Amino acid sequence: MRGPSARGALALAAALALAAACDRDGAAVGVDPAKTTWEPCEETFECATIRVPVDYGAPGGATIPLALLRAPATDPESRLGAIVVNPGGPGVAMIDRLVAEYATMRLAFARVFERFDVVAFDWRGVGRSAPLRCAGDAFFEEVRAAGLGLETPADVAETERLAKTLADGCRAAAGDAMLEGLHTENAARDLDRIREALGASKLDYLGLSYGTWLGATYATLFPDRVRAFVLDTPVFASSTDNAGRIERRAAARDAALERFFAACGRDAACPFHGGEGAPAVARAFDALFAPGRARAVGGLSAVDAALAVTGALRADDRDDFAADLAAAEAGDVTALRARADAAAGKRADGTYDGSIEALVAIGALDLPFAAGTTAGDLGARLAALGSRSALPASIPWALAIDWPWRRPGPAAPISAPSAPPLLVVATRHDPVTPYEDGERLVEALANGSHLLTYEGGGHVAVLRSDCVRGIVAEYFLDPSRPPASATCPR
């Protein structure tokens, strides 16, 4: 185990135990870093497990395991600390992702990985941390074939049936206490236990997509424990009406599609009606995904079409996406189905990774629908979205309507005026998360956080921009210095 000497670790453990004896809500909690055992795992990594309360209001009650994975700094002599990484979702298993993508990440952030350990954890209910297993693989095949667009009374009834099946399965698998405790505030308290396990007085954190909401929640609860926080592709989840958020996400997706139509329409080399002008590309796209059309040419459901299109826009890979559309127009939806499989969490062996059920269970607590909302109500709102509404925008949120569990109290509004400035990175043309969410998050934090704008498309800017990666690296190395620029070009 790399880090402080044994004597230093024990002293730090005692100090942390004293500081953490009472959490902000008065609950006695804490993790002793001297008793956190890191073992070699996954060939080149280190793994540990800590236990956290199911209910932080009852710390003496039931606990669940939280799985951690660490890649030690490549230059331990100049080590500055550990950066905890969360990719969002919610529901994405970060441990498996870090194992698969560490080599690429290390190349992209060489200077940072030299001086920091990189730590992944699986959110409670996800991956290796007491994962929810509410339904079998056949259920998710049903979901992908269902009418989640809620266009007809039969679609509404089918969606209500699937939602009840999922909720019943979750209750049987996990119980009410666990399902009430999956909200982001508890995940933020878990994140503070991770900080303790690392023996750190302050936390360094990289949150992507929904991981930004986790980071902002942590800064709200524990502002004095923040060192360097990077929140890339911000989600502003402060809402009591998820239907409105679905509408905003649909608008962001459609705006990204319009950019694709324009780019393809003026480029004769674009595989999907290239050079014919944006209106012609849009007409061809709408014809391909008109109700029943995609299924007719290859058995692709409307849900799968929406998953595939959103996945392609997230990746911002115009040429590959255009080629996939051209193949589908010719009757081959293999590539689009592969995109849908990836988005739905379907593995190569045909099993599902649990990300859909975790997304629903966590999102239903953090992003509830307005009281009294029915599947029919959501269907009516979706019908008014416009020309792209043939691609359901409610995936998989329609399964969370009338979810039986609610968090025990209102979430603390995001506000961290005493925290040091965070680095918030927002993508101008993000197809999933509106750019305005970044502006709203910086305003809510109210601590002088920096807003870095990536003037491109796709989802998660550090995946697409050397400029963004450079600014992020400099910030982690010295968060007291403001970013060198407020914008990065596409």
Check 129, 209, 355, 465 and give the catalytic one.
209
CA angle 321, 327, 333 (to 5 degrees): 90
Rounded to whole angstroms, how far apart are CA atoms 59 and 28?
7
- CA 125 vs. chain centroid, Å, equals 14
Q: How far apart are the first and last CA of the chain?
A: 41
Residue 254's CB: how many other CB atoms inside 10 A?
Answer: 19
Catalytic annotation on 183? no
Q: How do strand 487-488 and strand 450-457 relate by DSSP bridges? A: parallel
Give the Cβ contact number of residue 386 at 10 Å. 9
β-bridge partners, 126: 129
Q: 139 and 165 in contact (C-beta within 8 Å)? A: yes
SS3 state of residue 52: strand
Q: State how far Cα 214 lies from the chain centre.
A: 9
The verdict on whether omega for the bond into residue 396 sits within 30 degrees of 0, i.e. cis, is yes
Set 430, 437, 449, 465: catalytic member: 430
The C-alpha atoms of residue 217 and residue 359 are separated, in whole angstroms, by: 18
Active site residue 96: no
Token look-up 């595989």 returns 271
Cα–Cα distance measured from residue 35 to residue 10, given in angstroms and rounded to the nearest whole number: 10
Tokens 């980071």 -> residue: 215
Query: What are the DSSP E strand ranges found in 252-298?
Result: none
Residue 266 parent element (H or E) = none
DSSP state of 99: H
Q: Is 430 a catalytic residue?
A: yes
Q: Which residues are catalytic?
A: 209, 430, 459
